[in-house]
Structure 1
């Protein structure tokens, strides 16, 4: 399959759904909602919602399943965007550029950016709990909400961000770096795959295999992020290149060098694809996405 065409088409579907679901910038809270919408619609690859859609389609590619996945996919993107807004704040990574545009706090101030992130996070769960947007069974809806809350919270993404900040300019074992990557980036990626699986009615074996896929794709994604931060330009990345070294962050290239890091990323991709061996052609997008994650340039 042509992965670039697939990703472009799926990205357009996600963008359309986000426009349909997202709060309009009007009324007394217009400036706050404008700040939310600014970052949500500032571009991006939409990897997490696309993974959610692809995982669901690998189980059941019916139109109904696809429609049930749309609010779940959009909620995941809202949570991801909130995390980027907060990650860019001066108290955290202090970035002024994201996706080639000024970061949220540069335009709306620190308080405005914090509240925009808070708004996106809570709106995600409003979207997940709204039973008018999809025909998910209540038990499936609750399971998806629990999976996402756990992946996004203190034992997942937020915990990983906290550990990442605390570990700057310190010496720590490689196991700590693995925990940071698995939590800060990997947890929400794995959860995106799991949520798609649950919405599509996956059995336990299918769920386990897709979880293994998500774990390895999430690891590959972060390893490649480490590589790109060390080797790409600011123009290519749409954000500051070389910032990991400046901030004293431990990275895979820092531990292993560039070439060995490339090999480890490819190994993670290979494991991800191998985990799909029992799936048929409906899982081809997942296989292609894994390869794309390794070869991407931003």
Structure 2
């Protein structure tokens, strides 16, 4: 796991430097400019943009080709958190151990800061990728991003999640919520890397299977941490899912069964990499699956 921690630290620094440069290109209106930087650069693991770079490394391509797409994806992820934390949704005061964006800047400002991050992400996907990758690849990435971040992905999952609060949902509904609310934005970076890195159809299918599994593992672990986690490590209140009566795996199948399912999913993800790539090339993705299953924040 030491190798992965060093890898994540190194790539996180590269990604944050890139995002800092992109956001440093404007400073007015002040509240929006400062709020965008606060929302994106105020902590976080950067798993999504790192996955873009990991995929390119796996394919033997220059990771610099993925920096604009990874940075844009992190802005979309950050916008979703800013809006999730708003009073109308999860009503959270803390994120990553610090005040949520709307608590720091104001509720109306929080809405606009989230809007600005989402919109600017597409500016980065087009402007910063121009001359770096082909126009055809840019169009494909924009098309995929708008789908996975919207009604066919994250927003669709969030909507069904809200509609399911206080209700006993079936497994199909729970799978839909997790696949779309969380899973699509963890699948997207791997697909971005496959597009940029010219992955074959066969390799892309295998990596997409891996992506779906770690996306599900990530959400199940989130559900478990909301019960067993620690505020100091998570940086946000524990028990908010139960308080809001959200649909989660522990609520549907129990905590211990959720842990067993998590272990099974992590092993399936690792097996895909082991069976399709050399140990040296696939080592980081294997370690990442373990990391997602064992993380404490």
Q: Give the structure-1-normalised TM-score.
A: 0.95
The answer to whether the 8 Å contact 1:71/1:133 transfers is no
Out of 111, 120, 125, the residue aligned to residue 122 of structure 2 is 125
Distance 1:26 1:136 in 2: 28
| Structure 1 residue 282 displacement after superposition | 2.2
Hey, what does 1:278 align to over in structure 2? 276
Distance 2:201 2:7 in 1: 28
Distance 2:235 2:179 in 1: 24
Hey, what does 1:203 align to over in structure 2? 200
Give the direction of change, closer, same or farther, for the CA distance of 1:93–1:131 in structure 2 (3 Å limit).
Answer: closer
Name which of structure 1's ranges 33-42 and 256-265 shifts more when overlaid on structure 2: 256-265
Alignment of 1:21 onto 2:22: yes
Hey, what does 1:295 align to over in structure 2? 294
Give the direction of change, closer, same or farther, for the CA distance of 1:53–1:134 in structure 2 (3 Å limit).
Answer: farther
Distance 1:150 1:121 in 2: 13
Distance 2:7 2:267 in 1: 21
| Structure 1 residue 243 displacement after superposition | 0.6
Alignment of 1:172 onto 2:169: yes
Distance 2:237 2:223 in 1: 13
Hey, what does 1:267 align to over in structure 2? 264
User: Which blocks of at least 5 consecutive residues in structure 2 are unaligned?
Assistant: none
The answer to whether the 8 Å contact 2:69/2:129 transfers is no
Could you say what secondary structure the match of 2:36 adopts? helix
Describe the superposition over 1:68-121 as per-residue Cα deviations: whole angstroms up to 9, x where unpaired.
Answer: 100011011000000000000000010000000000111111110111011111
Could you say what secondary structure the match of 2:6 adopts? helix
Distance 1:108 1:227 in 2: 31
Hey, what does 2:34 align to over in structure 1? 34
Distance 2:118 2:131 in 1: 19
Number of aligned residues? 294
Distance 1:52 1:259 in 2: 32
Alignment of 1:234 onto 2:235: no
Q: Give the structure-2-normalised TM-score.
A: 0.95
| Structure 1 residue 26 displacement after superposition | 2.3
Out of 247, 251, 255, the residue aligned to residue 248 of structure 2 is 251
Could you say what secondary structure the match of 1:2 adopts? helix
User: Which blocks of at least 5 consecutive residues in structure 1 are unaligned?
Assistant: none
The answer to whether the 8 Å contact 1:55/1:283 transfers is no
Hey, what does 1:49 align to over in structure 2? 49
Could you say what secondary structure the match of 2:276 adopts? coil
| Structure 1 residue 134 displacement after superposition | 5.3
| Structure 1 residue 32 displacement after superposition | 1.0
Distance 2:134 2:282 in 1: 24
Could you say what secondary structure the match of 1:275 adopts? helix
Higher relative contact order (CA 8 A, sep 6+): 1
RMSD: 1.3
